[in-house]
């Protein structure tokens, strides 16, 4: 069977821009809402923008939560982008208290209301590496990437943090654990730096 990367379609997010960016660095990318195609993929990418609760409910309605969790548990490469990072967590405090997939223990939090900066954070900011992660091979520490978010994931195990960013507070902007890679920023909107990160991801496939 020919290898392919499955980009999970759950009715939310920037599927077109993510798939087009991936197609620049990999020759077989499939946008799908099929549990079977996710199961048989060589790697899984979960993108998304919008509210955590809506995203989780959409995944649940399409019966895609278990296929994604099973894919991660099988050891195949996983890339979460923005909401695709947040959905990994145990819970989110966005619009109440909502359960996530529980793959990464921790909580999705909002930027503090006392923050003297505009929320959501929209635009370019620096990523600072916390550990030597092959995802960032060839990327300069302190490189600029593109963010659009009001919430961020805080892992219970700080060893899961791959990079952090300063926006009034220091928050995790990338996490990694084994086959799991996830970014709060948008590689597909981060020009050459983002493409380099995607190239590094597809080396795992």
Which residues are designated catalytic?
82, 186, 188
What distance in Å separates the CA atoms of residue 29 and residue 44, rounded to the nearest whole number? 10
Where are the alpha helices (H) located in the chain, listed in sequence order?
15-23, 35-40, 52-61, 65-73, 83-86, 191-202
Tokens at 204, concatenated: 């795992």
Cβ count near 129 (within 10 Å):
18
Give the DSSP H/E element, type plus range, for residue 180.
strand 180-183
């Amino acid at each position: 069977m020919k290898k392919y990367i499955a980009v999970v379609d759950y009715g939310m997010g920037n599927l077109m821009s993510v798939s087009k960016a991936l197609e620049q660095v990999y020759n077989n990318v499939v946008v799908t809402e099929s549990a079977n195609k996710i199961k048989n993929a060589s790697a899984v990418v979960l993108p998304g923008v919008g509210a955590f609760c809506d995203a989780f409910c959409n995944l649940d309605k399409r019966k895609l939560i278990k296929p994604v969790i099973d894919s991660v548990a099988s050891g195949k490469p996983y890339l979460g982008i923005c909401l695709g990072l947040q959905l990994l967590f145990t819970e989110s405090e966005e619009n109440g208290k909502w359960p996530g997939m529980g793959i990464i223990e921790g909580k999705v939090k909002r930027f503090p209301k006392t923050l003297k900066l505009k929320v959501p954070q929209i635009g370019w900011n620096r990523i600072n590496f916390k550990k030597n992660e092959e995802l960032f091979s060839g990327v300069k520490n302190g490189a600029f990437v593109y963010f659009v978010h009001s919430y961020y994931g805080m892992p219970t195990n700080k060893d899961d943090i791959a990079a952090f960013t300063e926006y009034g507070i220091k928050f995790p902007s990338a996490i990694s654990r084994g086959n799991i890679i996830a970014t709060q920023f948008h590689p597909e909107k981060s020009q050459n730096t983002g493409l380099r990160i995607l190239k590094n991801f597809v080396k795992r496939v």
